[in-house]
Structure 1
Amino acid sequence: MEKSGVITRNSATVDARAVQMGITSIVEVMLTDERLQTVDNAKALFRAAPEVQQCYYVTGGVSFMLVIVSQDMTTYEETTRRLFAQNDSVASYRSLIALDRVKTGNDILIP
Structure 2
Amino acid sequence: MDAIDRKIVEALQQNARLTNQELAERVGLSPSPCLRRLRRLEESGVLRGYTALVDQERYGLPISVFVSIKLERQTDAAISAFEQAVQDLDEVQECYLMTGSRDYLLRVVSQSLQSYERFIRERLTRIEGIASIESSFAFGQVKKNPRLPAPLPAA
Q: Deviations over 1:14-62 (max 9, x none)?
A: 1111111011001100010111111111111111110000011112121
The alignment status of 1:104 with 2:151, answered yes or no, reads no
Structure 2 residue aligned with 1:54: 94
Aligned equivalents of 1:50, 1:105: Cα separation in 2: 22
One-letter code of the match for 2:115?
A: T
Aligned equivalents of 2:145, 2:76: Cα separation in 1: 30
Out of 80, 88, 105, the residue aligned to residue 40 of structure 1 is: 80
More RCO (CA 8 Å, sep 6+): 1
Aligned equivalents of 2:42, 2:143: Cα separation in 1: 25
Structure 1 residue aligned with 2:104: 64
Aligned equivalents of 1:14, 1:110: Cα separation in 2: 24
Change beyond 3 A, Cα 1:55–1:103: same
More helix by proportion, 1 or 2? 2
More strand by proportion, 1 or 2? 1
Identity of aligned residues (%): 28
Structure 2 regions of 5+ residues with no counterpart? 1-40
- Rg larger in 1 or in 2? 2
The TM-score with structure 1 as length reference comes to 0.89
Shift of 1:3: 2.4
Structure 1 regions of 5+ residues with no counterpart? none
Structure 2 residue aligned with 1:28: 68
Secondary structure in 2 aligned to 1:85? Answer: helix
One-letter code of the match for 1:51?
A: E
Structure 1 residue aligned with 2:118: 78
Shift of 1:7: 1.5
C-alpha RMSD of matched pairs (Å): 1.6
